[in-house]
């Protein structure tokens, strides 16, 4: 077969297995209660007609309730005008983030208001304003209007938050909602001033049960601090239901009649993926060296190629396995080092794979090293590539996907929501920061504590520790997109091209909004402080390598050097130390106020914003949407091959099912790969929630053809990390 027809088949298969959003669902078809009802095992799917009927009644109730709310707003509008003209009384107090140790951190620039309701339920605004930098508010109002006989007995103090940023034509606007309200009797207004004292709000607080910067997802009353947009919920539910039913069927079958099910029958029940399609049309190609190299470069893995200092033209890629994290003894997960040379098309062709770690259950030595080359024969070379795909998949999912994008973005999201309100940075950043904390909360349960410890070598405690370690190599300062190693390196060329889109968009935004950004620089200062205070320490900065056994010390050093290259971590940058910890995230500014002459501070801010947007969009989308290509065929790739009890261990052909994932793990893996790749929502181009800045969208669309030449569809790039 010539190269052209091979490329045509690959393109055809990519097209055939590309995931599209299909609208569907009928009345008596199964329903789910939302993203939070998903579980790795049997989700709370509702399939009996009675349950569906009850669900329908509940749905009607929520619809009527929201209709009633709208009617209520129409009947009793909240007019923007303030009643009364004499400001002869005031309401004061302060808003703070809860803290175990005083002084509590103030919530600055928070919109607050004082309202009365008439006996006929009308709204009367008495005062409005913002908290100052100490979190203090002082709302002056007309006392006579406040205590008027027309008003109900109690007045209402409200704290508002930005719930969404939206764009109306080109004009952005902040959509506000009530985050907190409290009532007090108007009869209490006996003097000129009345104080509500210090109000501690469960608003975008950091979790205190972990040292990783994570958001506490509920306020003090247990209400969520953020919700998915309705469109996001709907897209997920529409797509996941058929897949959920497939998983349920398999789990029931495994429980009731395990002999009736096999890996093959499980696989056949899920949609065909890219490697299966290739096998149909080009038998053997999906297991070839060329496909292996192409996927490591341009597939889900988007791996890092480091030039071999000892051999011209050789590139080295590393995937670290169990390291010294808590692990089980069921699955293999050695370190893998892959050596490549580029072929005439610029695709890396592997010629040597080194594994470090156990490959069978009989020899558990974690430092045993084996080299594999094509000269070892087909069976061993194929098995070595499969092991490389296995460690590679787990490494990509935990280090690059979950930590590099999800958790990394969450730390910027928390700091942004806590601080950006009056600054135009709320417009720039919040659309790209929303929903990430929510999906990460779901991932904790589903992936970190759910699927991965069950299906791979690393335990949940090990995964959490690993997340913290890798986060200790992720910083905005000095970060640059990956350098392509050849013309065929579409992933890296796309990363650079997308970064140029972000550069254009963010630079323009700063030019147009710099005056307002400077006026509200105090928000940037607090944003920067929050980031640093909650940042994890730099990887290895809190470990004493000297006391470690030599092998472990060398592995740590090797990881540090490789992570530096992979995550663009510049360790020559001077970072803050706080409470004896060298903080990973660099300081943006030391100043609470600046002028236009403080160009270094402004440049830092710009770079930090670009970095966070880049991670939340392109970097996340790439791995997320390619998951099904890679993990959609269980025998091709998975996160855990079992040792079995033979000396051959994992060095066996694919058809030896004694080391393959069990049927239960297989259906869960396919369910996951589908769920994560298939339920994307919130794209930059389609802008479903009208929250993407038109300049960003236009800058991306203007490079549509350039992206297409790299096989990248701009329509598939998400504006936020929410799956
Ligand atoms: Fe994701």
Q: Looking at residues 177-188, what average pLDDT do you find?
A: 94
User: For residue 500, how far is its CA from the centre of ligand 1 (angstroms)?
Assistant: 23
Mean predicted confidence (pLDDT) in 100-112? 92
Backbone torsions φ then ψ of 545, nearest 5 degrees: -65, -30
Which fold, 89-203?
Answer: Immunoglobulin-like (2.60.40)
Per-residue model confidence (pLDDT) at position 53: 65
The reported pLDDT for the residue numbered 711 is: 94
Rounded distance from Cα 426 to ligand 1 centre (Å):
23
Q: Quick one: pLDDT band at residue 451, thresholds 50, 70, 90?
A: very high
In the predicted model, is pLDDT for residue 28 greater than 70? no
Distance 721 CA to ligand 1 centre (A): 6
Alpha-carbon distance of 483 to 485, in angstroms, equals 6
Q: How far is the CA of 353 from the centre of ligand 1 (A)?
A: 29
**What pLDDT does residue 56 have?**
66
- Cα(214) to centroid(ligand 1), Å: 16
pLDDT per residue as tens digits for the range 155-164: 999 999 999 9
Read off the pLDDT band of 27 (50, 70, 90).
very low
Tell me the whole-structure pTM to 2 decimals. Answer: 0.93
pLDDT of residue 270: 94
Going from the Cα of 542 to the center of ligand 1, the distance in angstroms, rounded, reads: 29
Distance 440 CA to ligand 1 centre (A): 9
Looking at residue 70, its pLDDT comes to 80
- Rg of the chain on CA atoms, in Å: 28
The domain ranges of the chain are: 35-75, 89-203
pLDDT in tens, 456-469: 999 999 999 999 99
What are the structure tokens assigned to 609, written together?
A: 């914003």
548-571 pLDDT, tens digit per residue, is: 999 999 999 999 999 999 999 999
Chain-centre distance for alpha carbon 312 = 38
User: 616 C-alpha to center of ligand 1: Å?
Assistant: 10
For residue 720, report the distance from its CA to the centre of ligand 1, in Å. Answer: 10
For residue 103, cis peptide bond before it (omega within 30 degrees of 0)? yes
pLDDT tens per residue, range 40-91: 666 655 566 666 666 667 667 767 777 787 888 888 889 899 999 899 999 9
- Predicted confidence band at 22 (pLDDT cuts at 50, 70, 90)? very low
6 Cα–ligand 1 center, Å: 31
- Residue 485 tokens read as 């190693």
Q: What is the pLDDT of residue 678?
A: 78
What's the token pair of residue 445? 């349960």
Q: What is the pLDDT of residues 527-549, one digit of tens each?
A: 999 999 999 999 999 999 999 99
* Cα–Cα distance list, 228 to 33, 36, 165, 295 (Å): 13, 10, 14, 33
Q: Check residue 44 and give its pLDDT.
A: 58
Average pLDDT, the chain: 93
Tens of pLDDT, residue by residue over 237-272, are 877 888 888 999 999 999 999 999 999 999 999 999
């Amino acid at each position: 077969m010539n190269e052209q027809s091979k490329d045509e088949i690959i393109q055809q298969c990519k097209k055939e297995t590309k995931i599209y959003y299909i609208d569907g669902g009928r009345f008596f078809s199964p329903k789910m209660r939302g993203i939070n009802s998903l579980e790795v095992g049997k989700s709370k799917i509702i399939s009996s007609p009675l349950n569906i009927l009850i669900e329908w009644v509940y749905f009607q109730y929520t619809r009527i309730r929201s209709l009633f709310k709208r009617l209520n707003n129409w009947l009793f509008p909240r007019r923007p005008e303030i009643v009364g003209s004499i400001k002869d009384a005031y309401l004061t107090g302060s808003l703070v983030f809860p803290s175990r140790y005083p002084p509590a951190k103030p919530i600055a620039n928070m919109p607050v208001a004082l309202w009365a309701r008439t006996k006929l339920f009308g709204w009367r605004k008495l005062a409005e304003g913002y908290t100052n930098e100490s979190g203090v508010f002082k709302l002056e109002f007309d006392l006579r209007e406040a205590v008027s006989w027309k008003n109900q007995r109690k007045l209402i103090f409200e704290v508002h938050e930005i719930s969404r940023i939206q764009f109306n034509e080109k004009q952005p606007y902040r959509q506000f909602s009530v985050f907190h309200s409290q009532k007090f009797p108007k009869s209490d207004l006996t003097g000129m001033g009345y104080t509500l004292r210090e109000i501690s709000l469960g608003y975008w607080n950091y979790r205190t049960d972990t040292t990783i910067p994570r958001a506490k997802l509920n306020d003090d009353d247990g209400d969520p601090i953020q919700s998915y947009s309705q469109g996001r919920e709907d897209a997920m539910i529409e797509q996941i239901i058929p897949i959920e039913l497939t998983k349920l069927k398999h789990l029931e079958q495994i429980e009731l009649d395990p002999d009736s099910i096999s890996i093959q029958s499980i696989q056949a029940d899920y949609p065909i993926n890219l490697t299966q399609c290739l096998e149909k049309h080009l038998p053997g190609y999906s297991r070839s060296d060329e496909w292996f190299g192409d996927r490591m470069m341009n597939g889900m893995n988007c791996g890092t190629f480091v030039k071999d200092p000892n051999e011209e033209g050789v590139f080295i890629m590393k995937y670290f396995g169990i390291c010294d994290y808590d692990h089980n003894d069921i699955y293999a997960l050695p370190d893998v080092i892959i050596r490549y040379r580029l072929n005439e098309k610029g695709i890396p062709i592997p010629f040597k794979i080194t594994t470090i770690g156990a490959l069978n259950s009989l020899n558990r030595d974690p430092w045993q090293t084996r080299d594999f080359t094509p000269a070892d024969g087909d069976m061993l070379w194929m098995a070595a590539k499969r092991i490389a795909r296995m460690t590679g998949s787990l490494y990509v999912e935990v280090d690059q996907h979950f930590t590099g994008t999800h958790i990394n973005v969450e730390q910027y999201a928390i700091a942004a929501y806590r601080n950006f309100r009056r600054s135009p940075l709320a417009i720039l950043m919040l659309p790209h920061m929303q929903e990430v904390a929510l999906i990460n909360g779901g991932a904790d349960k589903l992936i970190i504590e759910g699927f991965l410890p069950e299906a791979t070598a690393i335990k949940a405690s090990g995964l959490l520790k690993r997340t913290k370690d890798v986060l200790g190599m992720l910083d905005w300062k000095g970060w640059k997109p990956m350098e392509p190693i050849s013309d065929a390196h579409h992933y890296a060329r796309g990363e650079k091209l997308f970064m140029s889109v972000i550069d254009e968009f963010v630079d323009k935004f700063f030019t147009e909004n710099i005056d307002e950004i400077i006026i509200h620089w105090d928000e940037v200062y607090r944003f920067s402080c929050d980031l640093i205070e909650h940042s994890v320490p730099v990887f290895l900065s809190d470990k004493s390598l000297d006391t470690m056994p030599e092998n472990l010390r060398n592995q740590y050093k090797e990881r540090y050097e490789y992570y530096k290259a992979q995550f663009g971590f510049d360790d020559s940058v001077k970072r803050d130390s706080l409470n004896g910890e060298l903080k990973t995230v660099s300081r943006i500014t030391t100043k609470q106020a600046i002028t236009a002459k403080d160009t270094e501070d402004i440049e830092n801010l710009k770079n930090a914003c670009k970095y966070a947007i880049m991670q939340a969009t392109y970097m996340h989308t790439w791995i997320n949407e390619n998951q099904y290509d890679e993990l959609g065929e269980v025998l091709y790739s998975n996160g855990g091959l079992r040792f079995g009890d033979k000396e051959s261990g994992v060095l066996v052909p694919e058809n030896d099912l004694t080391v393959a994932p069990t049927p239960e793990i297989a259906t869960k893996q396919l369910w996951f790969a589908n769920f994560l790749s298939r339920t994307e929502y919130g794209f930059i181009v389609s802008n479903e929630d009208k929250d993407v800045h038109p300049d960003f969208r236009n800058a991306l669309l203007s490079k549509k053809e350039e992206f297409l030449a790299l096989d990248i569809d701009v329509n598939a790039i998400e504006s936020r990390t929410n799956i």
